[in-house]
Amino acid sequence: MAQPEDAQQRRRSLKPLRRLFPYIGSYRGLVAGALFSLVLAAVTTLALPLAVRRMIDHGFSHADTTLVSNYFAMLMAMAAMLALASAARYYFVITLGERVVSDLRRDVFSHLTTLSPSFFDRVQSGEIVSRLAADTTQIKSAVGATASVALRNLILGLGALAMMVVTSPKLSGLVIAAIPLVVVPLVAFGRSVRGRSRAAQDMLAAANAYAGEQIGAVRTLQSFTNEGLVTGRFRAAVEAAFKAARASVLARALLTFVAIFIIFASVVAVLWFGSRDVLAGVMSAGTLGQFLLYSVFAAGALGALSEVWGELSQAAGAAERLTELLAEEPGIKAPADPKPLPVPTRGEIAFDGVSFTYPASPSRSALHELGFVIRPGETMAIVGPSGAGKSTVFALLQRFYDVDNGAIRIDGIDVREADPRAVRARMAIVPQDVTIFAASVRENIAFGRPGASDAEVEAAARAAQAEEFILRLERGYDTQVGERGVTLSGGQRQRIAIARAILRDAPILLLDEATSALDATSETLVQAALASLMRERTTLVIAHRLATVLEADRILVIDEGRIVEEGTHRSLVTKGGLYAELARLQFEAGVLEDAAE
């Protein structure tokens, strides 16, 4: 029972490789070059034994050395042809593999950038990055080396078998009868060897994962002085992996013994039967030599084919995973005929009875019938306890998700009827967690508007109160920051984000204030930078600072996805509700009372 199922699975498992055909098909020249050189190399190899037989049977039967020299010259020419065809095959095939995988990497990456956040809620970014790296590498070796090895050995194996039959039907019959004797033990043994080497690989992967986890958390492990414990566990894991590897190597060594013995014993047996025919004068010595060479070729080709099978089915798995990724539809798309947003922009935002539940946590709704209007140029602060839904308001406004009920309108246009890119182009966001890319300060700021001139970048940095610290860095605007570069402080990162937003110059500003306290100087600088950014823009700010709520035109207090209060700081403090409570906890008591008076 198990076997047919197994075989079916295997047959099915190579199918996904077909999905690579469109990629391969774009490079007909390379494919034609690869096929031509492949066939040429196989045919030349198959012609070699013929030449050897003629040389033995005719070349040696004459006293004249010219004939034998001619045969040698012919053999030399064939060797040169074989070398040339093999080199050409290598070039075409490997280039094709590199080309196809570069295209695939490009397509997968550009597709990933279009997918909606709901996809990244489901799939971890580490898994995606590993697909991009490991799966493409596996496909590269399959499209390149493996496929050509398989094809060459298929041609060579079938050709050699046919030539064996042509050369000596009787000996071929003998060999064919012996095939099960050779193949059955090899297949059975090979399966257990593969099982063992997979077990060894799994153990090594587990040890590596443990090392990665611990090195990633090296500070924690040192704080708890757990170096000895962790090293002991790793040593045990590596030792287990070594033992598994040794068991697999031992099995492989035994397989090598069995394979070589069986194959060469069969060759010796054929030679023994053949030599009796030669002695009886039924067969020439050259014919026996030719037959032997063909049987060695056939055996070698079959052996190689069984090796590449595993690699091809792994690549098929990789192709399947990548094409699945490419088939993933973005959840948020522009409608076929998107409505243009009015020009010039007014910057009015309206939430009209908006309800929303995250697809990743369907049991808990994040917003319930939220309704408010922010007039052009107005500043609205959103205040609420953790988990109230403040960031969700930002995510919906940028149309990272679609609302379940109600509508969000910008300048009167439902965001679902507009192109999401046009909606986002009207907004600049200063997030709480500022992403600093591994690039220069200049490039980091210019992310706000790629193509901005140096003067524009520097003007934005000045307006964001960032120029002073930038010029104090070793290489000023050209200093590398982020990973492997200079680490910026919280206040500095925020000012970079503000400079980015200034450069973007969008009519709507979304501000997510940092919760962690900045020192007094940074705080003052960041406030000044924000003040210049907020001028004449519609601003929605998730507020954590007293200064921000004091300056806001209105404050929206939300709790568990609902609006619970709305008003100015003063009116809400007087009211003595949730806001007054939050403000008492969050802002310094004395300052609050002063401000409320």
Ligand X SMILES: Nc1ncnc2c1ncn2[C@@H]1O[C@H](COP(=O)(O)OP(=O)(O)OP(=O)(O)O)[C@@H](O)[C@H]1O
Note the residues at the interface with ligand X (CB under 6 A). 121, 358, 360-361, 364, 366, 384, 386-392
Closest CB to ligand X among residues 115, 183? 115
Shortest distance (Å) from residue 489 CB to ligand X: 22
Closest CB to ligand X among residues 117, 485? 117
293 CB contacts (<8 Å, ≥6 apart)?
Answer: 48, 49, 52
**Bridging pattern class, strands 427-430 and 508-512:** parallel
Shortest distance (Å) from residue 502 CB to ligand X: 24
Shortest distance (Å) from residue 95 CB to ligand X: 43
Shortest distance (Å) from residue 2 CB to ligand X: 42
CA angle 277, 279, 283 (to 5 degrees): 45
Backbone torsions φ then ψ of 527, nearest 5 degrees: -60, -45
Calpha distance 169→163 (Å, rounded)? 10
Closest CB to ligand X among residues 457, 555? 555
Calpha distance 47→437 (Å, rounded)? 60
Closest CA to 349 of 150, 142, 541, 490: 541
Buried b (16+ CB within 10 A) or exposed e, 268-283: eebbeebeebbeeeeb
Shortest distance (Å) from residue 363 CB to ligand X: 10
Shortest distance (Å) from residue 386 CB to ligand X: 3
Shortest distance (Å) from residue 146 CB to ligand X: 40
Q: Please list the alpha-helical segments (H only) found in 328-438.
A: 390-397, 420-425
556 CB contacts (<8 Å, ≥6 apart)?
Answer: 372, 380, 381, 382, 383, 563, 565, 566
Shortest distance (Å) from residue 395 CB to ligand X: 7
Calpha distance 14→24 (Å, rounded)? 16
Cis amide leading into 342 (omega within 30) = no
166 C-beta neighbours (distance < 10 Å), count: 12
Closest CB to ligand X among residues 530, 558? 558
Closest CB to ligand X among residues 338, 359? 359
Calpha distance 533→505 (Å, rounded)? 9
Closest CB to ligand X among residues 79, 360? 360
CA of 394: how far to CAs of 46, 99, 399, 512, 539, in Å? 70, 41, 9, 9, 11
Helix (H, G, I), strand (E, B) or coil at 8: helix
Shortest distance (Å) from residue 416 CB to ligand X: 19
Closest CB to ligand X among residues 216, 387? 387
Closest CB to ligand X among residues 55, 393? 393
- Supply the DSSP string of 200-250, one letter for each residue: HHHHHHHHHHHHHHHHHTHHHHHHTT-HHHHHHHHHHHHHHHHHHHHHHHH
Closest CB to ligand X among residues 196, 493? 493
Closest CB to ligand X among residues 117, 300? 117
Helix (H, G, I), strand (E, B) or coil at 360: coil
Shortest distance (Å) from residue 209 CB to ligand X: 26
Closest CA to 485 of 473, 495, 499, 467: 473
